[in-house]
Amino acid sequence: MYGKAFAPEYQGELGSALSVNSSYEEVLDTANRALADADTALERARAQLAVAEANRRLGRVDAAGSAWRASYRSARDTGDPAAMAWALWSGGTLARQCGTLPLARRLLGHAVTLAADSGDRLAQGYALAGLAETGRIQGDYAAVAELHEQLLEQARAHGEARHMVWAMSGIAQMHRNTGDYDKALELFEESVRIATEADDARGRAWSLRGIADVRSVRGEPDRALDLLSEAEAICRTMDLASALAYNHKMRGNVLYRAGRYAAARDTYALALREFTEMHEPRGEALSRLGLAKSRARLGRDRTETLVELDALEGDFGRIGLRHAREMVIAFRAELTATPAPGTPAPRSGATTRRSPAVPARS
């Protein structure tokens, strides 16, 4: 039904030299050598695209931004709309990673148009997938659920395991966020199976994180932590800096739900440092929320927490993260709720009871 995973963003000679599982330091070294040896504008565009993607995955957003723009200029110089589409896809993906979601939608929309005009089905599929993921991250499920399903069917029809894993895990995430944990778990587990059989280590790592999230919500924290450890090993092997930071944030979520607030606080703080170093505002804001909730459970002054929640609500609104904003509102309501007569106030310093807070979603 599908073949081995491959990475179409590595084009020309780079496609032969690199695989979907190449570490990003290896990708960067290979692409820089190809760039130095490039004789044509198209060769430069392809090498600069790989440089952009490697730097983006390594969390070096300034270098990634310079490289995708250089790739686009080189592609424009050679008059190749497909190469221009790939560069815009990279730029749109970077914009989403950096939390500038309206820019991501614009760049990815232009990429779809250029790819369609060029007849590059893969470039068009990747750009459409980027638009779908941007909408999913924003919580606009009504707009992108059908697109996710269409992309999954296209991936099945063409035997593209990497896109199958991407679309299936995205659909799983939407089921998870709307409370259908059984369906989410089924899809995440299928995604892991496909990624494993297709030798897609990156897809396996992301899908394992999804399973860990659902297992945690269903009260299996130790199993969830084991899955996250397995995913972390993959992230470190492939130099997946952003994925590793999200893995740490998810570990914080698991610990928080299990009532291990001190450990959750320390893990969220680690994730926050990682996201801050790579200038990833979405991850920063989500980690700050986890940190604020953990500190509140450990006895932080309620007024200070409420001030921080107000700031986070503004940040989530500006970035366009609907579900994250809903989590802020839910936790604020919990903190400010008036206990029923005769009901003892919750002990914010508890470390063993499971938190009654709404489970973190992202």
**Each residue of 27-51: pLDDT tens digit?**
999 999 999 999 999 999 999 999 9
Question: Over the stretch 219-237, which tens digit does the pLDDT of each residue have?
Answer: 999 999 999 999 999 999 9
Looking at residue 351, its pLDDT comes to 36
Look at residue 138 in the predicted model and tell me its pLDDT: 84
Segment among 27-41, 129-143, 188-202, 244-258 with least mean pLDDT = 129-143
How confident is the model over 260-272, as a mean pLDDT? 98
CA torsion 318-61-27-15 (nearest 10°) is: 50
Q: Residue 29: which H helix or E strand, with range?
A: helix 24-37
pLDDT at 149: 85
d(C-alpha 345, C-alpha 36), whole Å: 66
310 or 152: which leads in pLDDT: 310
| Maximum pairwise Cα distance, the chain | 79
DSSP assignments along 108-174, one per residue: HHHHHHHHHHHT-HHHHHHHHHHHHHHHHHHT-HHHHHHHHHHHHHHHHHHT-HHHHHHHHHHHHHH
Check: CB of residue 113 under 8 Å from CB of residue 296: no
Can you list the alpha helix ranges (DSSP code H) found in 38-100?
41-57, 61-78, 81-97
Radius of gyration of the chain measured on its C-alpha atoms: 21
36-45, 55-64, 292-301: range with lowest mean pLDDT: 55-64
C-alpha span between 28 and 73 (Å, rounded): 20
pLDDT tier, 183 (very low <50, low <70, confident <90, very high otherwise): very high
Q: For 311-350, how does the pLDDT look when each residue is reduced to its tens digit (9 = 90+)?
A: 999 999 888 888 889 999 999 999 998 554 443 444 433 3
C-alpha pair distances (Å), 178 with each of 142, 173, 334, 361: 12, 9, 20, 10
Residue 352 DSSP class: S
Q: Is the pLDDT of residue 151 over 90?
A: no
How large is the average pLDDT for residues 180-185?
96
Q: pTM of the predicted model, to two decimals?
A: 0.84
Q: 1-5, 70-74, 178-182: which has the highest mean pLDDT?
A: 70-74
Q: State both tokens at 142.
A: 């009504």
